Amino acid sequence: MRYADITGWGKALPPTVLANADLEQLVDTSDDWITARTGIKERRIADGEATEMAEVASRHALAAAGLEADQLDLVVLATCSPESLVPASASYLQARLEAVNAGAMDLNANCSGFVYSYITASALIKAGAANRILVVGVEKLSFITNYLDRNTAILFGDGAGAVILEVTEEPVGLMASELGVDGTTTELLCTPVDGTRGVPGPRDPATSSITLQGQEVFRRAVTMMSESGAAVVSDAGWTIDQVDLLVPHQANRRIIDAVVRRLGLDPSRVFANIHAYGNTSAATVPIALTEALEQGMVAPGNKLVFVAFGGGLTWAAAAVKWGSRIEPINTSDASIPKTDKSLMEVLKPNLDFFRKVDH
């Protein structure tokens, strides 16, 4: 039997921080209000392109696995904020890494994108289509976030996380999975006019930012994350009490807490870092997994659950049996260069664009 073991992991966060206190200068909000409703204290804003973040996270993951980029068979990049539609952003990442023997593709399932990609890559390895796959979640949501809209400005940030999957005969990796979508609810969380949708013409700030019907998305996220999480635990032949760590999508601290209560899981067995980075969409789960490993929260043979929910409305869950290694084989000194711009200088193109909207 062929299985897909996670052998490498890495993350990349832009150095520019957008704290709640900074948002107080842009919209009618406060640190106390944001923290109470979301659990978020700050988020990161990229001054470069998304694949710059993806490259850094990937180099850390490759080093942790003890691999070179030319040993990869495939690059799967999960994102809903691509640098371009033609070519796919994975092409840029493949070139940056010089992964000359790898195919490359984007996968867009919004905030569920990394879990979708992890399940897809695991299936490809199990089927014999590949032996080594790089799976990356990366977002530059600052491009489509209106920082003058108090409802969404507080939520989103930029970042990247990556894992390496390698074939093994050991029964580890993906034990059970669930993929879902309700395409009749797309208007609840979307960018209204994007891609080829809408009338051709200049980008309109009034329809070019993320829109969110928060209460309904909250309700559906709690329901589907808890139900899909419980389903994969059962399908893997586990009980909730046997789950060593839940790594959920980091959208809202209250969503995470509600999911944990519904599952009946000990809160000490849940990893959350939303306070530091906000919602980085497809990047949240691999960033969280990397930090859980760095903090010693994963042991050999542990039973993990990844669960996510996002625009589409999509959801995904994976029951994962961890392999034997929890320490990186090598390390990388790759990093995102610090910018000489101030926070407001980094945000200026965004603010200038969205000031054209009648708030």
Q: How many CB atoms lie within 10 A of CB 20?
A: 19
Tell me the backbone φ, ψ of residue 314, rounded to 5 degrees: -105, 160
Measuring CA to CA, which residue among 132, 124, 135, 122 is closest to residue 171? Answer: 122
Q: How far apart are CA 175 and CA 336, in angstroms?
A: 35
**9: which strand partners?**
163
Strands of the chain, DSSP E? 3-12, 16-19, 42-45, 74-78, 103-107, 132-140, 158-168, 173-181, 189-190, 211-212, 245-248, 303-310, 314-321
249 catalytic, yes or no?
Answer: yes
**134: which strand partners?**
75, 164
**317: which strand partners?**
178, 307
- Range 296-310 burial, b when 16+ CB lie within 10 A, else e: ebbeeebbbbbbbbb
Instruction: Exactly one of 60, 108, 110, 111 is catalytic; name it.
Output: 111
Instruction: Exactly one of 20, 108, 279, 350 is catalytic; name it.
Output: 279
Instruction: Exactly one of 20, 190, 249, 350 is catalytic; name it.
Output: 249
| Rama region for 178: left / alpha / beta (φ>0; ψ in -120 to 50; rest) | beta
| Rama region for 195: left / alpha / beta (φ>0; ψ in -120 to 50; rest) | left
3-state secondary structure of 100: coil
279 catalytic, yes or no?
Answer: yes
80 catalytic, yes or no?
Answer: no
| Residue 51, amino acid | T
| Residue 331, amino acid | T
Catalytic residues, by residue number, are 111, 249, 279
